[in-house]
């Protein structure tokens, strides 16, 4: 069991990953990166950073599995109920009135945010008014999401409490079935969703989205990468469209982000006014 890794180990792993998989992790926020690397080293039962590097170099680690282990897995369904109420009452009806409305969620892992959005759209009668396009770091994430996720009882309890605070129209337990003491979300909720696997920086950006929900994912980047990702997000957003980030994230430290107008400071909803 590896408890921690130092700067040198981290650098060596980053360069082995870049060489073998062509994935550049050098601009990831250092604390989260080190913690995810420690998790991943242990997930492959390696006894040291060097042991892990050796496995990478020998081709004993599958890139999709690696990306799956590295992703920050956790959040909650209906995390921040006040945001989802705001989207339900104001912003989703507005964007869904535009023809061919597409909503982008480029950074999902567990599907919590995707299932939340789909429940909000379904309860508002808007599921056929918008297409949802969701990006995952690995194919394994996509399989899990399409399979309804597998939520342990504790996580469902937290999500259920969030849904109660959101004040939905239904019962939260009508959206999942229990299988082996775990909850599987009903995947018919995803009828209007397309889920793909691609690095956000490699996606096409041509102002195609009316709304982008990208919460708590900028946390994983240091400033240069954060800037690049924000540029991609804003270039992908239609003029008049909305970008939503995590409530303790900000666009303030990004030159590109400064062009966005804050329309709700508490929930971090930004509007694109100009190119």
Query: Which residues contact other proteins (rule: CB under 8 A)?
Result: 29-32, 35, 72-75, 79-81, 158, 161-162, 165, 216, 218-219, 222-223, 226, 246-250, 252-253
Q: How many helices (H) and strands (E) does the chain have?
A: 10, 9
Whether residue 166 contacts residue 85, with contact meaning beta carbons closer than 8 Å, is answered with yes
Q: Least CB distance from residue 156 to other proteins, whole Å? A: 15
- Whole-number Cα distances in Å, 258 to 71, 83, 95, 261: 28, 22, 22, 8
Nearest approach in angstroms of CB 59 to other proteins is: 29
Shortest CB 29 distance to other proteins, Å: 5
Nearer Cβ to other proteins (236/247): 247
Unique residue bearing structure tokens 């939340």: 116
CB of 16 to other proteins, least distance (A): 22
CB of 177 vs other proteins, minimal distance in Å: 24
Closer to other proteins by Cβ: residue 94 or 249: 249
- The least distance separating other proteins from the CB of residue 71, rounded to whole angstroms, comes to 11
For the chain, report the end-to-end CA distance as a whole number of angstroms: 50
Nearer to other proteins, 127 or 254 (CB): 254
| Closer residue to other proteins, CB minimum distance, 129 or 221 | 221
> Residue 66: which H helix or E strand, with range?
helix 63-70
Nearer to other proteins, 50 or 265 (CB): 265
Q: How far is the CB of 117 from other proteins (least distance, A)?
A: 17
E-strand spans in 53-158? 101-105, 130-136
d(CA 80, CA 86): 10
Nearer to other proteins by Cβ, of 165 and 259: the residue is: 165
Task: Annotate 133-196 with DSSP letters as a single string.
Answer: EEEES-HHHHHHHHTT--B-HHHHHHHHHHHHHHT-SS-GGGGEEEETTEEEE-GGGGTTEEEE
CB 112 within 8 A of CB 79: yes
Nearer to other proteins, 30 or 177 (CB): 30
Q: Where are the beta strands (DSSP E) in the chain?
A: 101-105, 130-136, 176-179, 182-185, 193-197, 209-213, 237-244, 261-264, 269-271
């Amino acid at each position: 069991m590896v408890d921690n890794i130092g700067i040198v180990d981290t650098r060596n792993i980053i360069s082995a990953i870049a060489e073998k998989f062509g994935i550049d992790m050098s601009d990831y926020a250092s604390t989260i990166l080190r913690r995810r690397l420690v998790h991943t080293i242990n997930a492959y039962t390696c006894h040291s950073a060097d042991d892990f590097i050796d496995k990478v170099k020998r081709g004993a680690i599958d890139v999709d599995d690696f990306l799956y282990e590295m992703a920050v897995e956790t959040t909650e369904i209906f995390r921040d109920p006040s945001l989802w109420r705001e989207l339900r009452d104001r912003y989703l009806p507005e964007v869904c009135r535009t023809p061919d409305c597409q909503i982008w969620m480029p950074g999902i892992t567990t599907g919590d945010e995707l299932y939340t959005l789909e429940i909000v759209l379904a309860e508002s009668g808007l599921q056929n008014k918008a297409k949802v396009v969701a990006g995952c770091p690995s194919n394994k994430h996509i399989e899990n999401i399409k399979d309804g996720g597998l939520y342990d009882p504790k996580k469902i309890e937290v999500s259920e409490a969030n849904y109660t605070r959101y004040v939905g129209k239904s019962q939260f337990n009508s959206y999942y079935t229990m299988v082996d003491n775990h909850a599987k979300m009903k995947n018919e909720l995803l009828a209007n969703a397309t889920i793909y696997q691609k690095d956000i920086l490699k996606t096409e950006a041509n102002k195609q989205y009316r709304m982008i929900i990208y919460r708590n994912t900028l946390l994983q980047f240091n400033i240069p990468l954060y800037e690049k990702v924000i540029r991609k997000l804003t270039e992908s957003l239609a003029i008049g469209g909305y970008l939503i980030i995590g409530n303790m994230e900000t666009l303030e430290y990004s030159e590109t982000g400064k062009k966005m107008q804050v329309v709700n400071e508490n929930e971090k909803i930004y509007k694109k006014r100009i190119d």
